[in-house]
Structure 1
């Protein structure tokens, strides 16, 4: 995984990860390079002057789609004597463009040999992630008179990188070069274009629809300005909230992904570098988080997930009729069915969450047409919950992969291999049922009942769904409650034995509404108690559990997205102070990450580390971490659509000061919300 000296720029379908000099020297284990649609189109991009590598004075990632590198020849000790400045300015859109500028500060003229070594291994992103780049097709490089063509072909699968320059260059199979003469104080510039092509049947570029959408820098800048102008404005007395919101809004713009079938419409990709594609679970959660700020993402997400809903039984893809996809990939390994993501359906939470998002979106937008348009898909999702997901026959959603080679073992959001365990640390057999998914199913049935009664003209179906939801709630509170611990089990095994560990999943149960009212206070106490709450946020697994590890991926780290739904759940059951405590911890942590919350960070106690400890391989930016501050804002201000209006019931953390959110869009038009936190003792003394 690239370290802190790497620079990342992205624009939805395309991203570049490089060193702080702008150079790219990819190895099988590092996601450095130019990537688009799950393939690496540049694995080598190294600039030299007179055969000498360059050193970075500084770099600036100006916008999410562009960066500038300020370089000099020689080692750091020679910077003061440097007679040349080299500036690399690059931008990504539908393609990759780099402007190279060289300035001569010497008192005499210089002759320079400028060389760019270029190469492409055309590694599938899955191959990079698995650290195995073993190409089965043919790599080729062709130096033409005015360009360098790098390519890969395997049967009808063909990918190409075409490099050209605004200044005359000498091209060879390994790159290109310029011989230039610079007088004193003279400047030389060249614009280098790197076009990527995914060639389909008949030689048609599958990415043409994307290439026509915002490839120029000015178009990208204008698009970002419009995106920010459309969003609500957030002002805060303490700048951390408004600064974090601004960063999240820009990162969300960067993560907008255009599936090939959408013709420019966008939905949230999951995250950089591994997950720049469409996910069911991640995209839905992100849409739920950002509904008050970017509601248009929900409509696109619902439509494309509905269009790709499962229609058959396919063991390779873990597909069932009515099931919502987990992940969609476009690279070589998916094309040749070496892995099942074309699409892959191995998640059990995306399907009920699809129904949840449809209802929540309608409450905000009043988009009745979409509710009616997706009625069939919604019914199919509910049918999947009842008939195909209940592998044991006891009324719960279970999972067990049918693709035992490349399918996911754990098909809940905590999908690492060891995330589900008993209290003694051993792992349960399959099938497994995790607690939060039962909550999602309950919520989906309750919400679908409203849709059926109000929009589908089917009150009998609405009554049926409400009866089923009530029965599920009663059954769940009987089977999952760990009486001697005062919490709900993380999961059940096929014999009904509880995975009786304390986890953050219980916060999702509050969000879903499946928690019995007389047990909610115990759940809230656990969530902000010392075993789960670190001071920065709620841990995925409680301190003291056998598998607890503060830097274990799902066994003790803090996930910002997880915390945002925990806070929302606490607020739903009336625990506003506890919700504010969680929100305050996460927003404090965000300041240490310059407003960009990572996928996860360490679960160490706050008074031990004094700052949130980075998780080494966390995605950043990541969509549902980007959406976290937005959902926390909604939760703290108590923003809830209610009978066609927006209700505001703020409860801010002590000492936060005044917050205002202006122009919140919805079926009500645009409204403003204001709140002020109570003063702490230091502020009172002042």
Structure 2
């Protein structure tokens, strides 16, 4: 695997497509195997190289626009020598490459301008190839056999790559040129231009990914770009806009919002935030729910779309291959060739233990945010099925706790830390299943509390009382079974013999988020997480550095995950530990300054913070990742003590970090109105003023 600093890449995404380019706008898998243009789980283009006189141009700059709509690359020519004579001086020709994705097509427009006072002859060449690799192959999985790649075809306006997979589906990549090149030789296209002084030429290139029997209309560059920017504007218009007096923080906010919009994919059931690029550009139940919770206060439509989608795909029957049981919420849906041929079990896979209670939590919080009782009535059956799954299938040994066993073909561990080595005893040995994770019990406690509230609203009093009692009993069990005086923390998990995994982990912090523990235990956690063995200076590590399997370079055993920190920070705020939450916000904000585009990755290494240095990249982290992108919004909500009920916006003991003097929250829509707010930081207090109001809105501030 290559480090992030070794090869700079730029990412685009639209709906089911995403692309990773190098800084030149090329695709070169020999330098970085992740690069390519992908569609529905398959890489449709694995080589796209642009040359000037068979030389790589000189890179001037490259960047993705702030709204993620467009990738621009500025290039110029090296010194061109023929017969020992300089025929084109260096820096004479300017080349601008603009790229974006729309639906299943990559659009590229190239401007070439001669700034020399004499005419020049220019030769431009492109090289293309497609390996039609499944994304799991790109990740490193070896296949026993592959489908058939057909000989390259020359078509009327370009070239075509064709592949028939082992799933018997034909996949094709069309390279369409406008105007046509002077030569097409196999996978190479050559343009020859005579450009006078200050003269320019424009080329259009369309790379279309097609799956058999798919209807796809190729629209113009300008129209497609209009639709891309229109989507962003529409999301802006229906979301809260947050501005502050700190421009660096604003950049983090703007990139986070733009990434949420980019990762959100249109489905028949509404918008759904795909998990991350490149490995998880698809539906993940847990990731979608947590992202929707993070963004709920700024745009509740994401939660509605997520709930609608997951309700539709909720398991209806037992299917051991899929790890499905009635009422269970889907973990992952894959569309590539390897999923279709069952080389991987993830075409429709239910192997997570926590998505189901989280689904119930999101449903209740969506209702609290919007008052949309009709939608809750529509998914009430799904909520009941989810609770039934918790009791009937989740609690394997009927001891009141929810456990999981490894899947035959899928995941061994089924919490959010799903690495094979992420659940272990204090001696480092892997835990014996069934596994009862500590945070999952918190999620179930919260799910039953929230389901009880919804049942009461719907007039189902007996059910409301029943679920509330069950929640309280589970709360007692969590403190009784999971607390360990010796490590001064809740243990990571209980194994199949109810032996505790006596490991200090960030999982325990999720109990704060669910308010499943007493104030006295919360106070201990609020102190523990900021001790040097837990807090790296950039955030809370997934496990303490005291633990046997601690490795700050690992995926789950010592790294820092922004979404994990956001959940803990929000929970700290619920218990009143806002200064501690502000420490997390400050750490992640400072980390964002060091990451390209102010974009927090899926995770980064848990190495101790060093003076005048940034955080250490984790080399194969998704970038962007939805729940990392949403982290800033959840932490802000917690620090402001922000809740919405009906037409009331409430702030409980609001605090802002020292680096934010002022904040504006605009277009804050609630049930029957909207409001613009101005917030002023006074250190240990925040003043909140209404600067514009429409409809019936009340703003209450509790000091």
Taking structure 2 as the reference length, the TM-score comes to 0.90
Work out the CA distance in 2 between the residues paired with 1:482 and 1:585.
29
> In the aligned structure 1, how far is the partner of 2:534 from the partner of 2:412?
25
Match of 1:168 among 154, 159, 180: 180
Deviations 1:96-127 (A, max 9, x none): 11112222233433333322111111111111
Residue equivalent to 2:694: none
Residues 572 and 76 (structure 1), Cα distance of their counterparts in 2 relative to 1, 3 Å cut: farther
Aligned length: 669
Show CA shifts across 1:265-317 (max 9, x none).
42111111111111100000000000111211111110010100111221211
1:570 aligns with 572
| 1:198 aligned partner | 211
Q: Is the 8 A contact 2:13 2:262 kept in 1?
A: yes
Residues 12 and 276, structure 1, Cα contact 8 Å, conserved in 2:
no
> Equivalent residue for 1:376?
381
Superposed CA deviations along residues 634-677 of structure 1, whole A, max 9, x for unmatched, are 11111012464121121223454232323322225223455444
Deviation, 1:132, is 3.7
Tell me by how many angstroms 1:445 deviates. Answer: 0.4
Give the Cα separation in 1 of the matches to 2:232 and 2:321: 40
Match of 1:126 in 2: 136
Q: Kindly indicate whether the alpha-carbon contact (under 8 Å) linking 2:351 and 2:407 is maintained by their aligned counterparts in 1.
A: no
Contact 1:645 1:667 survives alignment (8 Å): no
CA drift of 1:507 comes to 1.4
Cα offset, 1:87, TM superposition: 2.1
| Residue segments in structure 1 that go unaligned for 5+ positions in a row | 681-686
Give distance in 2, aligned partners of 1:36 and 1:670: 39
Partner residue in 1 for 2:604: 601
Distance in 2 (CA, whole Å) between partners of 1:429 and 1:76 is 66
Does structure 2 conserve the Cα–Cα contact (< 8 Å) formed by 1:292 and 1:665? no
Measured in 2, the distance between the counterparts of 1:384 and 1:213 equals 49
Q: Is the 8 A contact 1:267 1:300 kept in 2?
A: yes
CA distance in 2 between counterparts of 1:212 and 1:520 reads 57
Query: Contact conserved, 2:255 with 2:599, CA < 8 A, in 1?
Result: yes
Look up the match of 2:699: none
1:660 aligns with: 664
Instruction: Give the distance between the partners of 1:647 and 1:213, measured in 2 at CA.
Output: 46
| Matched ranges for 1:387-398 at <5 A | 387-398=392-403
3-state DSSP class of the match of 1:245?
A: helix
Deviation at residue 363 of structure 1 after TM alignment:
0.4
Match of 1:635 among 634, 638, 660: 638
Q: Does 1:89 align with 2:101?
A: no
Contact kept? 2:428, 2:548, Cα under 8 Å: yes
Partner of 1:249: 257
SS of the equivalent of 2:279 reads coil
- Distance verdict in 2 for CA 1:52–1:535, change over 3 Å: closer
Look up the match of 2:156: 145
2:433 is aligned, of 424, 430, 433, to 430
- Is the Cα–Cα contact under 8 Å of residues 483 and 491 in structure 2 kept in the other structure? yes
Contact 2:285–2:331, Cα closer than 8 Å, also in 1: yes
Measured in 1, the distance between the counterparts of 2:414 and 2:31 equals 27
1:222 deviation in Å?
2.3
Question: Match for residue 412 of structure 1?
Answer: 415
Q: Please name the residue that 2:673 is paired with.
A: 669
SS of the aligned residue for 2:56 comes to strand
CA distance in 2, matches of 1:319, 1:212: 44
CA distance in 1, matches of 2:613, 2:126: 44
Quick one: which of 241, 248, 259 aligns to 1:240?
Answer: 248
- 1:28, distance to aligned residue in structure 2 (A): 11
**CA RMSD of superposed structures (Å):** 2.5
Q: 2:558 pairs with 556, 559, 579, which one?
A: 556
Q: Are 1:110 and 1:181, in contact at CA under 8 Å, matched by a contact in 2?
A: yes
Per-residue CA deviations over 1:118-172 (Å, capped at 9, x if unaligned) read: 1111111111112547762211221123221111113641111112111122434
Q: What SS class does the counterpart of residue 358 from structure 2 fall into?
A: helix
Structure 2 counterpart of 1:110: 120
2:547 counterpart of 1:537: no
1:513 and 1:556 map into 2 onto residues whose CA distance is 25
Instruction: Tell me if the contact between 1:29 and 1:130 (Cα under 8 Å) persists in the aligned partners.
Output: no
TM-score normalised according to structure 1 size: 0.92
Q: 1:66 to 1:619 in 2, by over 3 A?
A: same
**2:339 matched to 1:334?**
yes
Q: Is the 8 A contact 2:291 2:627 kept in 1?
A: yes
CA distance in structure 2 between the aligned counterparts of 1:511 and 1:111, rounded to whole angstroms: 65
2: CA distance, partners of 1:318 / 1:29: 34
Residues 146-155 or 356-365, more deviating: 146-155
Contact residue 449 and residue 461 of structure 1 kept, 8 A: yes
Consecutive unaligned residues of structure 2, counting only runs of 5 or more, are: 685-703
Question: Structure 1's 421 and 213: CA in aligned 2 closer, same or farther, altered over 3 A?
Answer: farther
After superposition, residues 299-338 of structure 1 pair within 5 angstroms as 299-338=304-343
Q: Is the deviation greater in 371-380 or in 637-646?
A: 637-646
For the residue of structure 2 that corresponds to 1:613, the secondary structure is: coil
Deviation at 1:488, TM superposition (A): 0.6
Residues 28 and 132, structure 1, Cα contact 8 Å, conserved in 2: no
Q: For residues 389 and 215 of structure 1, what CA distance do their matches in structure 2 show?
A: 50
Corresponding residue to 1:225 among 233, 240, 249 = 233
Cα displacement string for residues 218-247 of structure 1 (whole angstroms, at most 9, x for unaligned residues): 121122123223322223232333222111
